[in-house]
Structure 1
Amino acid sequence: MIRLIVDTYHMGSWNMACDLAIAKHVGKGYQPTTIRLYGWSLPTLSLGRFQKMEDIDLDFLRNNNIDIVRRPTGGRAVLHHKEITYLFSASTNHPLLPKSVIGSYKVIAEALIKSLNYLNIQCDVEKNKNKHLNTPACYDAPSIYEITIDKKKFIGSAQYRNEYYILQHGAIPIEFPLKNYVNSFKLDKDKKEKLFNHLKNKVIDIKSVLNRTISFEELAEALKVGFYEVFNEEVVIGELSDSEYDLTKKIVEKFDIDIENL
């Protein structure tokens, strides 16, 4: 069985703490493989686990009421706003998931693609390593096995794994916040313009494809289909356990960045 949690909107620190709390429970065998769908109470720039803060224009974030958080996963910065974010967590020993990041990434991508096809969103998976621009922006090029539409980057995902669990989460943009995303970085005017024009031609969102938005519930129904087809496990709507909720509350401060005092 795969547990599917249809959550709501939270601050960035809560979202990252909750993802980690779920993964820890899954890794210990207290909970089954889990998917969580959620949103963000404020527009939030998430940084990769080891990304430098010096690349970020903190004054722009403060002036535009954009929060900031550091992910437990790697990669580069993503601006979460009008999107649905997913978490997928499984035991490292899951029989259908290869032992490598790339291998498991590919299987999860297959399930996501089948789910999105159910919504009439025709996706593909990036099969090549792409050269990134020299920027702190995650979306400047799709990484191998990330999900694309018409060769444009669609879902940006990142994974962390240890001996117990796999934690992968990613952004499914409803409307991509292009202007604010570019302005979140410390780049000179020419580089910002270059990045803006590059992203304009290289990223895509749901509204551009369907000419409408989708709800958490609509995506949840699609995930039930796609993940069942790939994992051959029933996907059942569930919720956080009391211990997952308590652990989230306990570790949330680890992800809380006080932007006003940076």
Structure 2
Amino acid sequence: MTRWRLLDTGAQPASFNMAIDEALFQLHVRGESQPTLRFYSWDPPAVSLGYFQKHSAIDFASCRELGIDIVRRLTGGRAVLHANDLTYSVVVDSGQGIPSSFEAVYRLLCQGLLEGFRLLGFEGEHGREEMECSSSDICFAHATVADIVYQGRKFVGNAQTWQGAALLQHGSIVLEPQEETWAAIVKTDSRESLRAQLKSRITSLREILGRGIDLDELKRAITTGLTERLQVEFEVGELSSQEWALAIEIASSRSRRREKHLSADQRK
């Protein structure tokens, strides 16, 4: 049975969360980091933008007022709100028991998540056709085969990037309702209309289970589900000194670029 490392890095700032995943991915591409499932959360809350996404609908001023950070991730897709969610990342390659097709990998990993949700007492299902919404920039307003829904409403979104045979997949599991926050940070002609649209398209584990969920309970269920579906063995581990050093370097580099851009904007 293939062994994967299980990491739980807790709550981190947005830039450092993305730097850790980038470090894991870079080192895995070089053959210097093992297959890894990582759980984490965000402090402060953040919006992550897809790698190629234009972000015109996100109101940066409102985000700043609410203490919500903005970060761009390596994976594709649309904006994801990381407030009252559990985020996971998977770093692996197609030579380690996963398919080489992006859609097949989405289905396989989602099957593992679905197994975990069954352990929590409910049946989710794969997303199907993309759902239309007036705000196309919000990931959770749309459900595709990469995602998981409950009774037609999405609560898990996923995104990928590949380099050669190596994969980085991000996933966000919504724990608490998010439509009020979204309505406060998206530019729209009608916040009430957007709020109603999102409520009809997005759900959360609290709404599904009728209770708040303990994060450790959720992580155990997901890990068990992925173990059964992927036929892998998870071993609890930590970031290596090499991974920490590279993550710090990446985060510092991004911070310097951001400060440079802010200074340039201020001189205009």
**What is the TM-score when the length of structure 2 is the normalising length?**
0.89
How many equivalent residue pairs? 259
Equivalent position of 2:47 in the other structure: 45
Equivalent position of 2:36 in the other structure: 34
Indicate conservation of the 8 Å contact 2:4/2:37, yes or no: yes
Equivalent position of 1:86 in the other structure: 88
Query: Could you tell me how far apart the structure 2 residues matched to 1:121 and 1:235 are?
Result: 24
Equivalent position of 1:163 in the other structure: 164
Gaps of 5+ in 1: none
Query: Could you tell me how far apart the structure 2 residues matched to 1:28 and 1:218 are?
Result: 34
**What SS does the aligned partner of 1:75 have?**
coil
Q: How far does residue 254 in structure 1 lie from its aligned partner after superposition?
A: 5.0
Equivalent position of 1:58 in the other structure: 60
Equivalent position of 1:219 in the other structure: 218
Equivalent position of 2:76 in the other structure: 74
Indicate conservation of the 8 Å contact 1:70/1:255, yes or no: no
Q: Deviations over 1:24-63 (max 9, x none)?
A: 2233332322111111011111111122233221111111
Equivalent position of 2:101 in the other structure: 100
Equivalent position of 1:200 in the other structure: 199
Query: Could you tell me how far apart the structure 2 residues matched to 1:3 and 1:25 are?
Result: 14
**What is the TM-score when the length of structure 1 is the normalising length?**
0.91
Considering Cα pairs closer than 8 Å and 6+ residues apart, tell me whether 1 or 2 has the greater RCO: 1
CA gap 1:11/1:201 in 2 versus in 1, 3 angstroms = same
Query: Could you tell me how far apart the structure 2 residues matched to 1:35 and 1:255 are?
Result: 24
Query: Could you tell me how far apart the structure 1 residues matched to 2:184 and 2:136 are?
Result: 12
Equivalent position of 2:138 in the other structure: 137
Equivalent position of 1:230 in the other structure: 229
Query: Could you tell me how far apart the structure 1 residues matched to 2:93 and 2:178 are?
Result: 34
Indicate conservation of the 8 Å contact 1:43/1:67, yes or no: yes
CA RMSD, Structure 1 to Structure 2 (Å):
2.0
Equivalent position of 2:242 in the other structure: 243
**What SS does the aligned partner of 1:24 have?**
helix
Q: How far does residue 129 in structure 1 lie from its aligned partner after superposition?
A: 4.0
**What SS does the aligned partner of 1:93 have?**
coil
Out of 221-230 and 67-76, give the one that drifted further. Answer: 221-230
Equivalent position of 1:124 in the other structure: 125
Letter in 1 for 2:118: N
1:9 paired to 2:11: yes
Gaps of 5+ in 2: none
**What SS does the aligned partner of 1:53 have?**
coil
Q: How far does residue 153 in structure 1 lie from its aligned partner after superposition?
A: 0.4
Letter in 1 for 2:203: I
Query: Could you tell me how far apart the structure 2 residues matched to 1:124 and 1:3 are?
Result: 27
Out of 106-115 and 222-231, give the one that drifted further. Answer: 222-231
CA gap 1:253/1:101 in 2 versus in 1, 3 angstroms = farther
**What SS does the aligned partner of 1:234 have?**
strand
Indicate conservation of the 8 Å contact 1:74/1:159, yes or no: yes
Q: How far does residue 111 in structure 1 lie from its aligned partner after superposition?
A: 0.9
Q: How far does residue 120 in structure 1 lie from its aligned partner after superposition?
A: 1.7
Q: How far does residue 233 in structure 1 lie from its aligned partner after superposition?
A: 1.4
Query: Could you tell me how far apart the structure 2 residues matched to 1:88 and 1:213 are?
Result: 25
